[in-house]
Every structure is written in C-alpha cells, then in structure tokens.
Amino acid sequence: MSREVERTDDGRYVVVDGRRWRTADPALPDDVRTRLLHHLGVARSAVRSAKGDDDAVAAARARVQLAKTGLGERGPAWWDQDDDARRARWEAALRELGG
C-alpha cells in the first residue's frame, strides 16, 4: 500500500491523502535533522508503549511536540523566521531533548 505524496509548489507542505502537512525546515543541517528525527522516533515509540499510563503518554507526546517543533513542522512557520530564529528553534529543541 503506497500513498500518493505530493509537494505544494512553494515547498512548504506535502499533501498525503488530500491532507496538507508542513514540511521540515530545509535549512536544518543534516546532523541536526538526523538527531531530531531520532528523538521523534523514540518519542513516538514511547507514546505507543505508554498506553494506559496517562502521565507517561503526556510526557511522550510533549517530546513528540518538541521534536516536531525543532524540525519546523509545528510552532511558528519556518518561512516566517529569519536564520537566527530558525537556528535558535532547533537548538532549543535539541537542548530540551537532551541533544
């Protein structure tokens, strides 16, 4: 089963099954993107394994939010931020996630 994925002309979103999702900040250095995606995967796994423990689920979801914000997929739109704000966003996320 493969989904049809397309990008908007401005490159800011991907469209999956008719739903628009914000793309990650293209200015992210590769090593930063890799670390944030690792944190995102670990946090998503924690959400799945924490079922039944409301506090653990909330903590894991907060980590998902933080990783996605660092990637630029949530929070202020990366295209509205200058380079310093974009860097500050991903550096703050990595600091809070523990690197």
Gap between the Cα atoms of 8 and 69, Å rounded: 20
72, part of any domain: yes
12, part of any domain: no
75, part of any domain: yes
Q: Residue 24 has which token pair?
A: 């990650």
6, part of any domain: no
Gap between the Cα atoms of 95 and 84, Å rounded: 16
Structural domains counted in the chain: 1
Range of the domain at 70: 27-97
89, part of any domain: yes
1, part of any domain: no
Q: What is the pTM of this model?
A: 0.90
Answer whether 45's CB lies under 8 Å from 39's CB.
no
For the segment 5-50, what is each residue's pLDDT rounded down to a tens digit? 899 999 999 999 889 999 999 999 999 999 999 999 999 999 999 9
